[in-house]
Amino acid sequence: MLLIKLLILSSLAMISYQDIKERQVYAFVFLVLIGLLGYIHHQHTLQIHFLYALLINTTVLIIIMAMLYLYTLLRLKRSFFEEVFGLGDVLFFLALAVGFPTVSFIIILVFALLFSLAIWIFFKKSAKYPTVPLAGYMSLFLGVVFVTNWTTNVISLYLI
């Protein structure tokens, strides 16, 4: 299990570095992260609970993405995947959906987005690119959450 945790932290670090530095992340890193988070989630829950969480979380993601797409199309009148939201962001959201039970997924998603907003507001003026490295900032947040959870005796992320 230690090896899996180290691989998760390494994947999160790679995503953070590549997204913040270049706004491009290798897709295989997201696929590795999805597999690792899914494996840990599956190990901590019953299979039926894992499948229900997967179904509910992906449904929530589809609804959120559809609302963002419609808002971008109708209100901003911009290309969704080219200018507003990156494929890496979608893959990171999918990793969160696969990796956590529904309540934990929603809590982590909301607080990771708030963290990303706060960091972006702080670093916006010195940023090299005008776009938000959402997956990178969310990876930083998730890395801190995991390290905190794994090193303390707080409630498990899979029991919430």
The residue among 117 and 129 whose pLDDT is bigger is 117
In percent, the amount of the chain with pLDDT more than 90 equals 72
What pLDDT does 41 receive?
96
- Mean pLDDT value of segment 70-77: 87
- Residue 53 falls inside a structural domain: yes
The domain in which residue 46 lies consists of 2-151
Calpha distance 48→54 (Å, rounded): 10
- Residue 67 falls inside a structural domain: yes
- Residue 124 falls inside a structural domain: yes
What pLDDT does 76 receive?
82
**Per-residue pLDDT reduced to its tens digit, 35-59:** 999 999 999 999 999 999 999 999 9
Q: Indicate whether 91 pLDDT > 80.
A: yes
Cβ count within 10 A of residue 105: 24
- For the chain, how many structural domains are there in total? 1
Q: Indicate whether 7 pLDDT > 80.
A: yes
- Residue 159 falls inside a structural domain: no
Element spanning 114, H or E: helix 102-123
- Least confident range from 13-22, 50-59, 120-129, 137-146: namely 120-129
What pLDDT does 39 receive?
97
- Residue 156 falls inside a structural domain: no
- Residue 60 falls inside a structural domain: yes
- Residue 90 falls inside a structural domain: yes
Calpha distance 103→56 (Å, rounded): 10
